[in-house]
A and B are shown apart, each in its own frame.
Chain A
Amino acid sequence: MRMTGKVLLAGVFVLAASLVSGCGERSQVVVYESGKYQGKTDTKPWENSPGAALYTTSKWTSGDMASWETALRTRNQSQNEYSRAE
Chain B
Amino acid sequence: MARMKFLCDAERCIECNGCVTACKQENEVPWGVNRRRVVTINDGVPGEKSISVACMHCSDAPCMAVCPTDCFYRTEQGVVLHDKDLCIGCGYCFYACPFGAPQYPQEGVFGMRGKMDKCTFCAGGPEKDMSREEFAKYGSNRLAQGKLPACAEMCSTKALLAGDADTVADIFRHRVLKRGKGSEIWGWGTAYGKPDNPKAQPSQTKGAKS
Which A residues fall within an 8 A CB radius of B? 30, 32-45, 47-48, 50, 52-53, 56-60, 65, 68-69, 71-73, 75-82
Contact = CB atoms under 8 A, between A and B. Distances in A.
Given A41-B126, A42-B126, A58-B145, A76 B73 contact: no
Nearest to A37: B73
B1 A69 contact: yes
B126 A40 contact: yes
Given A30-B86, A69-B1, A39 B153 contact: no
Choose among A48, A53, A56, A76 the residue with the greatest number of B CB atoms under 10 Å from its CB. Answer: A76
Interface residues of B, number: 44
Q: Is the interface of A mostly helix, strand, loop or mixed?
A: loop
A64 B129 CA distance: 16
Nearest to B168: A76
Contacts of A56: 145-147
A45 B83 contact: no
B129 A48 contact: yes
A85 B82 CA distance: 39
Interface in B113-133: 123-130
B60 interface: no
Interface in B179-209: none
A72 B126 contact: no
Contacts of A48: 129-130, 144-145
A53 B130 contact: yes
B15 interface: no
B161 interface: yes
Contact of B70 (A35, A42, A43, A44): A35
A82 B128 contact: no
7 contacts: A40-B127, A42-B124, A58-B147, A65-B1, A73-B164, A79-B161, A82-B175
Contact of B178 (A43, A44, A50, A82): A82
Given A42-B125, A79-B163, A82-B174, A60 B146 contact: yes
Nearest to A60: B146
A65 B2 CA distance: 10
State the 8 A-B residue pairs at the shortest beta-carbon distance, nearest first: A58-B146, A39-B83, A40-B126, A53-B145, A76-B163, A37-B73, A45-B144, A42-B126
